[in-house]
Each structure stands twice: as structure tokens, then as C-alpha cells.
Amino acid sequence: DSPRILIIPGSARDGSLNRRLAAVAAATARAAGLQVTEMDLRALALPVYDGDLEAASGVPAGAHELRQAIATSDGVLIVTPEYNGFPTPLVINAFDWLSRIPPGDGQAGGLAATANKPAALLSASPGPLGALRSMNFLRQYLQMAFAMLVVPQQFALGRANEAFDGEGALKDARAAQSVEKVIAALATLARAMPTPR
């Protein structure tokens, strides 16, 4: 079976450049024969992490949904904007909640779902550096705290507000090729260590 790739945009807004880049990545992955699932973090409706809320009502269902989506994928691609040099709270908050899911009822905890899971990063910004700094932080966060295997290949799409044509494809062939390389690296690692089904 072909690897199952979960694609997570780090911005949920309608006009999001990162959602557009995620759509390009999804099309690229499907063209490469991968199975793609796209996740909308906004739909998880996660409140900002609050220990009192957790103590009162446990980890919200949205975090369990994210855990399940990761657990049933062979690789995860995150496409992140940059807010003041940092990945968005939408991404960090979702993963912080995920990390709070305890093991139980024959289910692995949140951190068991991410451990040794292949992952890759893309980013986009209207600025010239394409949110590059956010990927550096996100790479460290996912590797150090979540034990994810983040492939070295990554791509930051600068001037992203001018990067897409009317069909949503990348105008620059080299940019499109860079996305293909990141997907290929993720697919190679996902094939090498597929998650048991």
C-alpha cells in the first residue's frame, strides 16, 4: 500500500498562503502516488491550553482527533506560517494538547502517536525569507519534544503572495521542484518505516 501522508496547514484562514502551499503539496503527493489526508486545525476547535480546563474536563476531543490522524498516517507534513519568527499558536497549541493525552484504555498516549513518525516541513510568507525561522523552531519542537523524525529537506516559499497562478499552482518551476523534493524525502522515510495498519 502507498504511504499515507497527513498534511497540516498551520493557518486556517480562508486566504491563507500556507493553506495554498499545502494544497500544492497535497496535489504533488497524490501525483507521486501517496494517499493524502488534509487536516483543518481550526475544525478541532481547541481552546488555548489551560491546566484548569484539563483538570476539569480532560483533554478535548479535538486533540484526540489529531492523535488519531497522526497515528493512522505514515508521515506528517506541516506547512507553517511565521508569527514574529515563531510557528503559529494554532500549531503549537494543538501539539501541546496532544502531548497531554495520557495512555489508557488500550490506546497509546499522544506522545506514542508521534514517536518515530516521519515528518517534513514547508513554510510560506509574503516576506523574502518565506517564514524560514518558523521551521527551525518547529523542527526542534517536533524532534525534541515529540520524537518525530523530521527529514532534513525543507522549503520556505518567499513572496508567497505573488507565488501562485490562477489555478493555485506555483508559478516558479524551481519552487514546485523544491516542494516535490520535500515530499519525496518524506515518502522515502515513510516507506522505510511504515506505521503498522
3-state secondary structure the chain: CCCEEEEEECCCCCCCHHHHHHHHHHHHHHHCCCEEEECCHHHHCCCCCCHHHHHHHCCCHHHHHHHHHHHCCCEEEEEECCECCECCHHHHHHHHHHCCCCCECCECCHHHHHCCCEEEEEEECCCCCCCHHHHHHHHHHHHHCCCCEEEEEEEEECCHHHCECCCCCECCHHHHHHHHHHHHHHHHHHHHCCCCC
**Closest separation between CB of residue 127 and ligand FNR, Å?**
3
Q: How many residues bind ligand FNR (CB under 6 A)?
A: 14
**Closest separation between CB of residue 192 and ligand FNR, Å?**
31
- Residue 13 is a binding residue for ligand FNR (CB under 6 A): yes
Residues near 75 by Cβ (< 8 Å), separated by ≥ 6? Answer: 3, 4, 5, 6, 117, 118, 119, 120, 186, 187, 189, 190
Q: Identify the residue among 30, 126, 136, 181 touching ligand FNR (CB under 6 A).
A: 126
**Closest separation between CB of residue 104 and ligand FNR, Å?**
35
- Residue 137 is a binding residue for ligand FNR (CB under 6 A): no
Residue closer to ligand FNR by CB (options 131, 179) is 131
Q: Identify the residue among 58, 85, 89, 103 touching ligand FNR (CB under 6 A).
A: 85
- Residue 89 is a binding residue for ligand FNR (CB under 6 A): no
- Residue 190 is a binding residue for ligand FNR (CB under 6 A): no
Residue closer to ligand FNR by CB (options 22, 189) is 22
In whole angstroms, give the CA distance from residue 131 to residue 95.
Answer: 19
Interface segment toward ligand FNR; rule CB under 6 A; list 23-31, 53-61, 81-89, 166-174: 81-89
Q: Contacts with ligand FNR in 31-60 (CB under 6 A)?
A: none
- Residue 81 is a binding residue for ligand FNR (CB under 6 A): yes
**Closest separation between CB of residue 14 and ligand FNR, Å?**
9
- Residue 178 is a binding residue for ligand FNR (CB under 6 A): no
Binding site for ligand FNR (CB under 6 A): 11, 13, 16-18, 81-85, 125-127, 131
